Amino acid sequence: FLAVKCVKLMVQLKNKLACGPSFQDFIKSSTSDKSYDALKYLSVYFETYGCQMNVSDTEIAWSILQKAGYSRTHELPEADVVLLVTCSVREKAEQTIWNRLKHLTALKKRCQKHKPLLKIGVLGCMAERLKTKLLEQEKLVDVLAGPDAYRHLPRLLSLAYGGQRASNVLLSLEETYADVMPVHQTPEGHSAFVSIMRGCDNMCSYCIVPFTRGRERSRPLSSILEEVRMLSDQGVKEVTLLGQNVNSYRDLSEQHFICSEGSTQLSRGFKTVYRTKQGGLLFSDLLDKVSQIDPDMRIRFTSPHPKDFPDEVLQLIQERRNICKQIHLPAQSGSSRVLHAMRRGYTREAYLDLVENIREIIPGVSLSSDFITGFCGETEEDHQQTLSLVREVGYNVGFLFAYSMRKKTHAYHRLQDDVPAPVKQCRLEELISVFREEAAKVNMALTGSTQLVLVEGESKRSSEELCGRNDGNVKVVFPKTDLPVQPEKPQMVPVTLGDYVLVKITSANSQCLRGHALIHSSLNDRKTSEHLLSKQTI
């Protein structure tokens, strides 16, 4: 009896299997190029939070989705898919995104009748860090994609529209998106970001980036040059090379270019917490080749680490007219004791020696920096040392924050977040005040000078004024007016976004320079224009 029953069950199971997909169907599914036709022409709306790397990530993600057949909208009510490109560096940034997600979820429920297809996704660092909470506990999102999973966005959205919550937050040791040409969204193309590497190996004790973006890896130099050439052909006037530790770039796909034994790898007096990579092309090689593509295109880079400024890089910045004479030099603290706790790999003295070396090699260089107040164990004496460092160096621009503990970091596991929040805030306000005082002095020293300015558009405060940035990345504001192209010719031409103009500086404060525009110019013609103008004045 049991044998007969088993035979009947086997026959029933066989009949059920016969109704389902065959082995050939599975083979076809795994080898075919899925185009997700049902999802084509859906509109995607991006919101980008955090650093310039997230701007670049947005352009990469959009390039991938555009190729898959999606359209893009800049109006939230028109969107079928809302994607937030997120930041986890500080708690405040995450809280902003949590609040936004709750608002979008409520909007999604209200629009369910006339917008049943609306999906919400989180991309980037926050997706990697808070997968379970976002997807399973709070249930605020339909799609999660970590920084190394943007290639999977079409598949993840397909799963989401199939009724599943879809995620991929795996970090990669190799992904650089070298073969993905970003779709740059800068209005009229006057400036653009170019990502040259991903991840970070520095393991500073306060920083979550190595845990949300993975280990350091660099794009092949050839793919970077291809992107910069494309931007030059599009008329872009300024490119910013991006990386979490941008000046530790090393293209290991070209290992036959071995570094010479005598070359300097690190700034004097600095060290790393990881083994130095061998072979490949260095940041100085990249900077050299990028700066040769278009002599009239300004080159910037961010965010560097002070340890990776050998003299070769500094000398190249000084020699090349189109590499901006501006260096971001994150100090984080002015106390050697706090710097040691932060695992920064240098002392206050080494940092000041580097500043002196930079100013000796690049006269007139503009410096900017990052500082954290209230790090674990910071005393009032440590804080005063930070204030004195700011006064001693004299920066043009600063990015200043109160410390917020991040899970997974060395500080989270080994140190105590023992500085009270009110003390952190008080120290931050004092640091901001000192920073503004010193920045005002540095900027006022430029009064009377002539600055070459790349025009970015109208001033936020007045439609009668234009604004842009000089070589030192300081904002310059001037009245809107037509200008001559050449001093000896009377023809006047309107100033438009993306133009280079010479501006005579008449006043300054900690935030910007003000002046009046003199003439249209360019990186190549600046000296000639200034000479002709000086002859006219005489």
Q: What percent of the chain has pLDDT over 70?
A: 86
31 pLDDT more than 60: no
* Overall average pLDDT of the 414-435 stretch: 98
Number of Cβ within 10 Å of residue 73's Cβ equals: 17
525 pLDDT higher than 80? no
- Amino acid identity, position 412: Y
Residues 6+ apart with CB under 8 A from 527: none
| pLDDT, position 184 | 78
What band does 529 get if pLDDT is binned at 50, 70 and 90?
Answer: low
Q: Which structure tokens are listed for 167? A: 């995620």
Q: Nearest to residue 446, comparing CAs of 394, 514, 356?
A: 514
Average pLDDT over residues 179-206: 86
What confidence score (pLDDT) does residue 262 get? 40
* Per-residue model confidence (pLDDT) at position 257: 52
Query: CA-CA distance, 47 to 78, in Å (whole number)?
Result: 14
pLDDT tens-digit readout, 217-237: 999 999 999 999 999 999 999
Is 26's pLDDT higher than 70?
no
Structure tokens at 47: 């919101």
Range of lowest pLDDT (47-61, 110-124, 494-508): 110-124
pLDDT, tens digit, 9 for 90 and up, residues 454-487: 999 999 889 999 999 999 999 999 999 999 987 7
Residue with the larger pLDDT of the pair 36 and 403: 403
pLDDT of residue 127: 86
Q: How far is CA 455 from the centre of its chain?
A: 21
Q: Is 451 helix (H, G, I), strand (E, B) or coil?
A: strand
Residue 13 CA to residue 81 CA, distance in Å, equals 41
**How many residues are recorded in the chain?**
538
Q: What are 88-142's pLDDT values in tens digits?
A: 888 888 899 999 999 999 888 887 777 778 899 999 988 888 887 887 777 889 9
Mean pLDDT of 381-390: 98
C-beta of residue 127 within 8 angstroms of C-beta of residue 84: no
What is the token pair recorded at 445? 């020293």
Q: Which two tokens stand for residue 532?
A: 């002709």
Choice among 27-36, 276-285, 295-304, 422-431 with the minimum mean pLDDT:
27-36
Asked whether the predicted pLDDT for residue 249 surpasses 80, the reply is yes
User: What is the model's pLDDT at position 116?
Assistant: 72
Rounded Cα distance between 434 and 437, Å, is 5
What residues does 523 pair with on adjacent strands? Answer: none
Quote the pLDDT of residue 137.
78
Euclidean distance between CA atoms 341 and 331, whole angstroms? 13
Q: Please name each of the domains of the chain with its CATH number.
A: 37-168 (3.40.50.12160), 187-443 (3.80.30.20), 450-537 (2.40.50.140)
Could you tell me what percent of the chain has a pLDDT over 90? 70
The predicted structure's pLDDT at residue 183: 84
> Which residue in 185, 364, 145, 194 sits closest to 294, CA to CA?
194
Q: What is the pLDDT of residue 128?
A: 80
CA distances (Å), 40 to each of 44, 121, 142, in order?
Answer: 11, 17, 18
CA 245 to chain centre: 11
Q: How confident is residue 24, by pLDDT bands cut at 50, 70 and 90?
A: very low
Most confident of 159-168, 251-260, 503-512: 503-512
Q: Which residues contact 380 (CB under 8 A, 6 or more apart)?
A: none
Q: What is the mean pLDDT of residues 298-315?
A: 95
Distance of CA 521 to the CA centre of its chain: 29
The verdict on pTM exceeding 0.85 is yes
**How does DSSP classify residue 323?**
B
Residue 3's pLDDT is what?
56
Task: Give the count of alpha carbons within 13 A of 279, CB side only.
Answer: 6
pLDDT attached to residue 27? 38
> What is the per-residue pLDDT for 51?
85
List, in sequence order, every residue forming a beta bridge with 493; answer none if it has no partner: 483
14 band by pLDDT with thresholds 50, 70 and 90: low
Q: What is the pLDDT of residue 7?
A: 57
Mean pLDDT of 412-429: 97
Q: Which of 256, 259, 178 is nearest to 222 (CA)?
A: 178
Query: Please, what's the b/e burial string for 146-177 (b: 16 or more CB within 10 A of its CB; e: otherwise)?
Result: bbbbbbbbbbbbbbbbeeeebbbbebbeebbb
pLDDT confidence of residue 256: 47
